[in-house]
Amino acid sequence: MSRLVKRSVGREQSIADGLYADLGRRIAVAPPGTCPVDMAKGFLSLCSAQSCGKCVPCRVGIQQMAALLEEVLRGEGDEKTLEHLEETARAVYDSADCAIGYDAANIVLSSLRGFREDYESHIRSGRCKTGFFTGAVPCVELCPANVDVPGYVALVREGRCADAVRLIRKDNPFPTVCALVCEHPCEDHCRRRVLDDAVNIRGLKRYAIENAGVVPPPAGEVSTGKKVAVIGGGPSGLTAAYYLRLMGHSVTLYERRHRLGGMLRYGIPAYRLPFELLNQDIDHILSTGIEVHTAVSLGQEITYEELDKNFDAILMATGSHLASECGIPGEDAENVMSAVYLLREAGAERNPDFTGKKVAVVGGGNVAMDAARSAVRFGAERVYCVYRRRREDMTALGDEIEGALAEGVELLTLKAPMRVETDDSGKAVALWVKPQTPGLIDSSGRPKPTNASLPEERLDVDIIVMAVGQKAETEMFEKAGLPINRGLLQAMPNGQVMRNGKVFASGECATKPGSAIQAISSGKIAAANIDEFLGFDHRISVDVDIPAPRSEDKPLRGRVNTSLRPAPLRKLDFDGIEIGLTHEEAEAEASRCLRCDHYGCGILKGGSARKW
């Protein structure tokens, strides 16, 4: 008999692997409002089960931390309990022999730092602070605009697509835009993922839009006699103007470009968001009676003093249309451009001719993917995407990366741009890059790239596109005497600009660049706060009856995804690349919704904080 025997994975290990996979799914979909103290204790229990018990800090320390957490959860602890907990966690972190011990301690320390008020609330009242304990439906809570997702999914299932669109527009006047380009954070914690996979919420929204027909805007409130100026015709400004108009205020919108849409038009390529579909949402918004002036710039055609004199409130929603610099030598050479400029030209239907050119796009976000895929459609012979981190560290959506690769974009990771090489006439002819190696984890949670002990590499290219970030244009605000902080218009949490009572700010000119749905949410919030500033308390409502949940089983079922046009065909034009769901697919996908607005909503410990 052989001394060594090759063992296959047994039935017990297969079952254990399945349990771990189930646990991983449940952790991934932890809903908003989960008690951080209870969550930390659960993680400690898992760490305890994994511990070998050879070192005292791990064997004894984890159990001691768990006991202290249980004392807090029972409401029997005090401030000294928290101090003891923190001291124990630090001792375990500093002295444990392996990652299981010090990672368990780090969980406690991170929880204490991030949720100290919740720990103290447990001690005082036996439950988390009210602000965190929402008990809300995950998809609604994680949608920046708080759209009633289960409601419109149920309406789609019943075939009431027009009502579904009405319900969406109650909180988001850009349903068509979001049906095409939203990053769908609502799907991240969909409870359906506990069973199989998240509901295709964005796909169902698109189905509703495509089958709703013309849905007129709701009737607005009676005129309030108040006048509001909105500066900026992007998603945030248009959203605020829409809701302010429905509230009965007179709204005048000023846009510096010739067409409305902001970064929706001048930052998202037409193959993702066709102009005619964008115009549908904009036309609907304007049909409420908003007065629009295009090709008007603040500080030129109209002054801040005129706005201050003629309007009761002013909203600054100018976005972030300036490109950030990469900071390498030769960046100002001919044939080096920003992704912001490239996409703006495409949005203005002035497509550049890259026929036969080799193009390098520097960056790893969604804008970099848009620029690279646009360069392919401009006729480029080869397109490189140069990124200093790993592919898994890219901030672009996975679908965008896969789409770019399918269309022929070459991904060059762990290559940091060093300088642009130019010829005698000052034109860029090459991009020099330095190979990188992943280093220590930085504040972003990703390995920080460091220079590898390898020589620089020369990338022979004709066009270089910098996609390394965007920033707001603040000169016009400074001239108007409005406060600027770190390149952004300084505003209070309610959007009101400090020291200027009637001036508000929303969108990317007041926050860092984000997604379309974040800009929409910012505009919606600004509209509500401006309404309150003007002395009103209007509430946007919609007369739509949401179907009651059906009494039926919810068996395991595969998710229905939207499909794409074949890559060899779609890369030849700027026509829309995505194909929507069929009636059969939409009905099947809508039936997967667990109706969390009715079932599973609330909190066991301390009672439900909100009833739906």
pTM above 0.85, yes or no: yes
CATH number of the CATH domain containing 67: 1.20.1440.230
Please give the single-letter amino acid code of residue 448: K
Residue 591 covered by a domain = yes
* pLDDT given at position 609: 42
The number of folded domains in the chain is 4
Residues 199, 190 contacting (CB under 8 angstroms): yes
Cα dihedral sign, 515-521-525-530: positive
Distance CA 92, CA 106 (A): 9
Tokens 């928290």 correspond to 82
Distance CA 535, CA 537 (A): 7
The residue ranges of DSSP E strands in 387-535, in sequence order, are 410-412, 415-422, 428-441, 447-451, 457-460, 463-466, 470-471, 484-485, 488-489, 503-505
Residue 539 covered by a domain = no
- Are 101 and 87 part of one and the same domain? yes
Residues 218, 542 contacting (CB under 8 angstroms): yes
Residue 542 covered by a domain = no
- Are 338 and 424 part of one and the same domain? yes
- Are 351 and 459 part of one and the same domain? yes
- Are 116 and 171 part of one and the same domain? no
Residue 200 covered by a domain = yes
- Are 354 and 465 part of one and the same domain? yes
Centroid of chain to Cα 340: 19
**Using the 8-state DSSP alphabet, how is residue 462 labeled?**
S
- CA distances in angstroms from 22 to 28, 242, 431, listed in the order given: 10, 44, 47
Report residue 436 as tokens. Answer: 């990188």
Distance CA 480, CA 495 (A): 17
Distance CA 428, CA 422 (A): 4
- Are 47 and 160 part of one and the same domain? no
Report the SS3 class of residue 83: helix
Range of the domain at 361: 323-469
- Are 281 and 266 part of one and the same domain? yes
- Are 74 and 189 part of one and the same domain? no
* pLDDT given at position 49: 82
User: How many DSSP H helices and E strands does the chain contain?
Assistant: 22, 20
Tally Cβ neighbours within 10 Å of residue 52: 11
Residue ranges, the chain, pLDDT below 50:
131-133, 606-612
Of 437, 469, 501, which residue sits at a domain end? 469
* pLDDT given at position 607: 41
Residue 6 covered by a domain = no
- Are 588 and 576 part of one and the same domain? yes
* pLDDT given at position 134: 52
327-350 pLDDT, tens digit per residue, is 999 999 999 999 999 999 999 999
CATH number of the CATH domain containing 527: 3.50.50.60
Residues 529, 496 contacting (CB under 8 angstroms): yes
Distance CA 244, CA 530 (A): 8
* pLDDT given at position 528: 96
Report residue 122 as tokens. Answer: 């447990």
Which residues, 6+ apart, have CB-to-CB distance to 164 below 8 Å?
A: 152, 155, 156, 208, 212
Report residue 136 as tokens. Answer: 């809300």
